[in-house]
Amino acid sequence: MKAQARHILVKTAAEAEQLKQRIAKGEAFDVLAKKFSTCPSGKRGGDLGEVRPGQMVGAIDQVIFKKALREIHGPIKSKFGYHLVQVFYRD
């Protein structure tokens, strides 16, 4: 199984929630990822590319392989901080 997803990683749940609200109001996920994400993927608009089960930390893996497609999920806490995750497809 594989999936294609993108995410935004920030330090606090409040920051993640603020960004989620901005996306809901129409701001572009990739633009916000480039500006605010602390993950190297932020430079690519948060694009994680194709991932397989076990490649990401557990909490993110669960979202990528079990939650609804195209929705913004989060904030999700991991040892790295708080994530917003969007999954495009899985097969």
Residues in the chain: 91
Q: For residues 83 and 79, what is the distance between their CA atoms, to the nearest angstrom?
A: 10
Residue-level pLDDT at 33: 98
Q: pLDDT band at 2, cuts 50/70/90?
A: very high
pTM for the full predicted model: 0.95
Contact 50, 4 (CB under 8 A): yes
Q: pLDDT band at 20, cuts 50/70/90?
A: very high
Contact 31, 72 (CB under 8 A): no
When pLDDT is averaged across residues 56-66 and rounded to a whole number, the result is 96
Q: For residues 2 and 15, what is the distance between their CA atoms, to the nearest angstrom?
A: 29
Residue-level pLDDT at 11: 98
Provide the 3-class DSSP secondary structure of residue 18: helix
